[in-house]
Structure 1
């Protein structure tokens, strides 16, 4: 039975954490074995993915129902949610920092070293290698065929930057509408944010097709291809998750789940969306522009 300690709501013991752990284990193990061409890899991945959807739907549904029952209103509960979300975003910052670190290490340490600017090892290994970024000609072109062309800063990348910056404005307007009890402003702005997120993903998918089939830029085309797709791919995954979160919030807005003093679910998703915006700005500068 649910109990209360003072004004702090204490939920009953839940099986969702262990179910989520099993889902993550199956998903990651499935992907790893799929990459190693094990026959059961795709099946284990599919099972983990379906189970993860089940866990997210059930766990979040439980918390939403607790909020509707008025159990999550105390200040202490909201503070715990805020701290949890901040720690989650911090973990995401560390996640992307590792990929940016790989990019910077490659560009400012590995390439100069292989090109003979900091050592003489290139004389024995690849005497004809010329360091440049984007890297079109790899040190060992027999095994890693370089791309025909790099990804430019203008075109789709610039449009997507404008799309995400605009979405940051619209989600802020939606928050303003929620705080001021302007229902129409809130819904229209939230819907606009969702459509902008979908637009970003559609444009990125088009860009990937151009990279693969026209510019021959793939994950196997050397360090430039691998860093490009790791950074932009994981960012695209986060945009997908953020867009799904925005859609769920939009549904809850229509159900009138939120009020000016009780809407942390919206705040959490908007924080996540602004984080996605900032990461894209860094990506645009360091992956596309410089």
Structure 2
């Protein structure tokens, strides 16, 4: 009989399969960029495999928490710490790209003609689509907080409504960013400005996409009454991640779009 509150997970094949899928996706992308034959098929197949592995892995975790009752308070505390450490690692990742952008913009080299943005780069208007996207993302942060309070109060209808609004706002944000990419006059290969700009905004956009999927899963679980006032850790982590995405975008808007232009 178990005499401790911790959950010893069963052996799972999903970490191994996820590693294989990630390796294939990365290899396929690099090969595709360099024009190797069938590399695009490898990247696409590996990406689909990664989506499948993430889905079934997530399914197993939900079974452990909702139906088997393995996620005790001690286990939930450990998961919270793990999420916090993950977000700290993400902060370090973004900090590296912000450092690269700041280093080049504060002391433009002679190759950049000593000016920033580099000569020939037409920076985007920060008070156009970027400012609109800022308002949209901040509004989504407010609506996800609304959803959190609704769940705490046991108001499932309000929770579903506010969470659906959050997901819709996230989709609109992503659509505007895609339009911005299409209409921009420079690409990722246009000097260090283009590289830093697309790496920062693209990395953030990827986080928005992941966060949207995270919140969509929470919306599905909420509609199935799996999120309760005393048991909704999955949503807490999704909301925490979403607030992190909000804060990073504020820094991106101020540093890259406004000050950097």
TM-score, length-normalised on structure 1?
0.86
Alignment of 1:130-141 (within 5 A): 130-135=113-118, 137=119
Deviations 1:222-265 (A, max 9, x none): 11111111111111111111111111110000001011111110
Partner residue, 1:233: 202
**Partners of 1:30 and 1:44 within 8 A in 2:** yes
* Aligned equivalents of 2:2, 2:210: Cα separation in 1: 33
Aligned residues: 259
- What CA distance in whole angstroms lies between the structure 1 residues aligned with 2:28 and 2:87? 26
Structure 2 CA distance for aligned equivalents of residues 87 and 283 of structure 1: 22
Higher mean C-alpha displacement, 86-95 vs 56-65: 86-95
- 1:150 equivalent in structure 2: 123
Structure 2 residue ranges without an equivalent (≥5)? none
Does residue 208 of structure 1 match 2:206?
no
Go from structure 1 to structure 2 and tell me whether the alpha carbon gap of 1:53 and 1:4 turns closer, same or farther (over 3 Å shift): farther
Which 4+ runs in 1 deviate beyond 6 A? none
* Aligned match for 1:43, one of 41, 44, 52: 41
Q: Any conservation in 2 of the 1:73–1:262 contact (CA below 8 Å)?
A: no
Aligned partner of 1:265 in structure 2 is: 234
Which residue among 196, 221, 245 is the counterpart of 1:252? Answer: 221
Contact 1:161 1:284 survives alignment (8 Å): yes
User: What does 1:70-81 align with in structure 2 at a 5 Å threshold?
Assistant: 70-81=68-79
Cα distance in structure 2, aligned partners of 1:232 and 1:4: 48
What is the SS of the residue equivalent to 2:117? coil
Structure 2 counterpart of 1:22: 20
Q: Is residue 187 of structure 1 aligned with residue 173 of structure 2?
A: no
**Is the 2:105–2:117 contact (alpha carbons within 8 Å) kept by the matching residues of 1?**
no
Alignment of 1:102-113 (within 5 A): 102-109=100-107, 111=108, 113=109
Q: Could you say what secondary structure the match of 1:10 adopts?
A: coil
Post-superposition offset of 1:71: 2.2
What does the per-residue CA deviation read over 1:183-214, in whole Å, with 9 as the maximum and x for residues that have no partner?
12111110110010001011111111210xxx
Contact 1:9–1:71, Cα closer than 8 Å, also in 2: no
2: distance between equivalents of 1:171 and 1:104? Answer: 32
Distance across 2 between alignment mates of 1:184 and 1:133? 50
Query: What residue is the counterpart of 1:63 in the other structure?
Result: 61
Question: Counterpart in 2 of 1:277?
Answer: 246
Q: CA deviation at 1:284?
A: 0.2
User: Separation in 2 of the partners of 1:254 and 1:165?
Assistant: 25
SS in 1 for 2:7: strand
Q: Which has the larger share of helix?
A: 2
Give the drift of 1:47.
2.0
1:168 and 1:133 mapped to 2: Cα distance? 32
**Does residue 172 of the first structure (1) align with residue 152 of the second (2)?**
no
Tell me how far apart the structure 2 counterparts of residues 96 and 14 of structure 1 sit (CA, whole Å). Answer: 31
RMSD: 1.4
Higher-RCO chain (CA-CA 8 Å, sequence separation at least 6): 2
Contact 2:28–2:42 (CA<8 Å) still a contact in 1?
A: yes
Q: TM-score, normalised by structure 2?
A: 0.95
